[in-house]
Amino acid sequence: MENGYIPCEDTGKKTRRFKIQITDVIAYLTRLKESPETLLTPPGIFSSGIKYKPKRQTAKAINSEKFMAMLKNKWHTFPDALTVNDVTKLTGYCQTTVSEWIKAEKITGVWYYTKYLVPKDSLISYMATEACRIHQKSKKHMELLEQYRNP
């Protein structure tokens, strides 16, 4: 109906939505009997998945020591013990992600009173090595990598 195989009028109702002339139904059935291949269901009409998979871009390798040096230079104004909020400002990742990094021991986190403190060197070494393998990088992270590649 919605594909235009049978001429009809869409009323917009939930039930008995389409008004169809009996002559149009007969013409459709005749066409279906004579050449069924012309009235095939369009591909993908009943699938709810993605129609294409985007190609995964391979990350260009970076020299981790040079990237670490760049981050140390860029972040020299921040204290050596960063709060989770500081880490989110520097990296662009949300607090939940940073907390997951601490729980997974990807970065060192020390519980101090009511918050975690992260050594800046631990964050820098993570950002220069393992964080480069993150597929969905934050905007800030991509900007840092771009600044490294195009100084």
Q: Into which CATH architecture does domain 64-149 fall?
A: Orthogonal Bundle (1.10)
19 alpha carbon, distance to own chain's centre: 42
Confidence of residue 31 (pLDDT cuts 50, 70, 90): confident
**pLDDT tens-digit readout, 39-62:** 776 666 666 666 666 555 556 677
Cα–Cα distances in angstroms (integers) from residue 70 to residues 65, 73, 89, 146, 147, in the given order:
9, 5, 17, 12, 9
Q: Please give the structure tokens belonging to residue 134.
A: 């993150």
Question: Could you tell me the residue ranges of all domains in the chain?
Answer: 1-52, 64-149
The count of C-alpha atoms lying within 13 angstroms of the C-alpha of 125, restricted to the half-sphere facing its C-beta, is 9
What pLDDT does residue 45 have?
64
Residues 117, 109 contacting (CB under 8 angstroms): yes
Q: Please give the structure tokens belonging to residue 86.
A: 């500081």
- Angle, alpha carbons 148-129-134 (nearest 5°): 90
Q: What is the number of H-type helices and E-type strands within the chain? A: 6, 5
**pLDDT tens-digit readout, 69-107:** 999 999 999 999 999 999 999 999 999 999 999 999 999
Amino acid (one-letter) located at 142:
M
What pLDDT does residue 82 have?
92
Indicate the angle between helix axes 139-149 and 64-74, nearest 10 degrees: 110
CA distance 83 to 85: 5
Provide φ and ψ at 10, rounded to 5°: -90, 115
